[in-house]
A and B are shown apart, each in its own frame.
Chain A
C-alpha cells in the first residue's frame, strides 16, 4: 500500500493554516511549525492533532506530544507515519 501520510499531512496543514493551493507542497522536512509560525499557537496545534487523529485514524496520547515532533514538518510526518504503522 502506498503511504499517503505525507499527502494527508500537507492537506491538514493547508486546512489549519489556510494555505493557498500548492503552498504546502513547498514544505520540506526542516520547515518550521510550532514555535516558527505565529498563528500555530497551542489551541491551533491541539486542533491540528485532533484533525490528524480523525483523518489518519490514529490516537495520539498527550505524553507522546513533544516539542521535537511539532517543531518541523519532517518531525510531525515521522511521528504520523510511525503511529499509522503501529495502528
Chain B
C-alpha cells in the first residue's frame, strides 16, 4: 500500500494534486473507496486500510483518496462545496480506473455516478451536521459561552462555521444540510459486518472480524 498523487479539479478551474492511499497491482477489479467525513473519517481510516489489505490478498486493487481540504490535502476546506467534492471523487475514479465504488457513511453523499457501488452505513448530511453543531454547543458551554443551534446555523449558512475543528465554508455547510445518499445504491449495514460501527468510537479502533466481513462481501460482489 503506497501513497499516490492524483490530479483533482480545483474549485475555480485548473487541476491540483490530491493524495490517495493506493494498493495498485494493475489488476482488473479496482475499487474506489470514498472516505467518511470529518471525525468519522479519522475513526474509520484504520478500518479502511485493514479492508484494503484484505482486498489486496483477495486480488482486488483499491484506492482511498482524500477529499480536497481534508487529511493530507493542501487545499482549504473553506473553499469546498458539494460540487468540488463530487468532482474530486469522479476524477479519482477516472484516474485510478475504478470498476466499483465503496462509500462509507457521509462519503455516500459523494459517490461518483456510473459505477456499481455499495454504501456502508450511509447517513444524511443533516445528521452529520446535527452532531457536529451539538459538539460545538457542548464545547462552548464548557468555556462558559452559550450558543444556540438556530444562530449557529444561520451564521454557518452566511459565513461558514468551525465545527469540531473543521472550518466549513457556507457552500459546503448548505450543501451538506440538503444532501441525502442515493437510495438506489446497494447498502451494506452494520449488522452484516457484526459488532458495532467503528465510527461511533470515541477513539479510533480496529476490528479484524468486521474488516474480514466487509472485504469478503466486496470481493464476492465484485466477482459476481
Q: Chain A residues in contact with chain B, CB under 8 A?
A: 14-18, 37, 39-47, 49-51, 62-63, 65, 67
Nearest-CB residue, chain A, relative to B137: A62
Q: Which of B134, B148, B200, B202 has the most CB of A within 10 A?
A: B202
Q: Which residues of B contact A51 (CB under 8 A)?
A: 200
Whether B142 lies near A46 (C-beta < 8 A) is no
Q: Given that A43-B164, A45-B135, A62-B137 are contacting pairs, would A50 and B201 also be in contact in the complex, using a CB cutoff of 8 Å?
A: no
Interface size on B, residues (CB 8 A): 23
Q: Chain B residues in contact with chain A, CB under 8 A?
A: 39, 127, 130-132, 134-139, 141-142, 148-149, 164, 196-197, 200-203, 205
Judged by DSSP, the binding face of A is helix
Q: How far is the CB of B197 from chain A (nearest CB, A)?
A: 7
Question: Complex: how many Å from CA A37 to CA B130?
Answer: 23
Q: How far is the CB of B35 from chain A (nearest CB, A)?
A: 17
Whether A65 lies near B138 (C-beta < 8 A) is yes
Q: Which residues of A contact B134 (CB under 8 A)?
A: 46, 49-50, 62, 65
